[in-house]
Amino acid sequence: MAQLVDLSDDRASRLLILSPGGGVGRPLLPLREAQLMWEPASVWSVTGDSVHLRVFTGLVGWDARLTSSPGGDRLQGRAHYLSDAIVRGRAPDSESLSLRRVLCNPTWRRPDTSASFAARREGTVWFASQVTRAAVLNSSVALPQQLRRVDVLGEYEENAGWEPLVRRVTQAAEPVVLVSAVIEADGRIHPSTVNVRTASASMTSVPRAAVAALLRQVRFTPAQRNGESVGVLALLTMELTPP
């Protein structure tokens, strides 16, 4: 059974699953925040009698070296704050840490421990509201024959437009798929981040692997943040060519 460790008074923030494959899950955080911001860069390992734990987004988080308490029900040690901001002449902040072991609830989502875990993307991913220029389709690169159209959308999940968008997709007469994925700084989709959100009723099945394979052939003009190309979490609609 994977273990759960207790971090703070906020339940969603204090729950971690330490998976046998070295991954760290954040089961009570929103799915896209956990999978695309925290879990790709969060890892744990054991050396001798010490547990090394990193909980990190690529921008903020903490590193800890922990050992078991005498009773074996806690992991204790110090956590060192991680940040992309460095203050000259000042060491990173650190705090004592005591984490309580409890059994996992079977309803909690487990982190990915398959071979794809090592193939996940690395580095910071931004939300659409955090970039200064949105990612757009690169129209100079032809779409694969199976795709008629690809549109990059804004952050519908964060506003009242989400439910109307889902209805519009599911009720579409043409074959349409709504997908979330990371558009990298080089204008390519990272295949491990592709998540099929919904599809039109005319589509009987939408295999994620098939959608990811199509998106590998699509090119985008990447998002920018303060003049620098960056990876961004995007919502996309894909209209497929009818058979």
pLDDT at residue number 4: 44
Residue finishing a domain among 89, 117, 145 = 117
Last residue of a domain, one of 83, 100, 117: 117
CB atoms within 10 A of CB 51: 21
Q: Is 6 exposed, middle or buried (0-12, 13-18, 19+ CB in 10 A)?
A: middle
Q: What does pLDDT average to over the chain?
A: 81
pLDDT single digits (tens) 112-164 = 544 444 455 666 788 888 899 999 999 999 998 889 999 999 766 556 788 88
113 and 129 in a single domain? The answer is: no
135 and 175: one domain?
yes
If one counts the domains in the chain, the total is 2
Residues 185 and 206 in one domain: yes
pLDDT at 136: 95
Could you give the C-alpha distances from 77 to 38, 66, 97, 205, in angstroms and in order?
21, 4, 5, 49
Query: What is the per-residue pLDDT across 192-221, written as a single tens digit (0 to 9) for each?
Result: 778 888 899 888 677 777 888 889 899 999
* 132 and 104 housed in the same domain: no
Vertex 101, ends 98 and 106: CA angle to 5°? 140
Q: How far is residue 27 CA from its own chain's centroid?
A: 12
Answer whether 0.75 is exceeded by the pTM. Answer: no
Residue ranges making up the domain that contains 186: 125-240
Q: What is the pLDDT of residue 118?
A: 43
Are 234 and 133 contained in the same domain? yes
Q: Which of 90, 117, 144 is the last residue of a domain?
A: 117
Residue 144 and residue 227 share a domain: yes
Whether residue 132 sits in one domain with residue 110: no
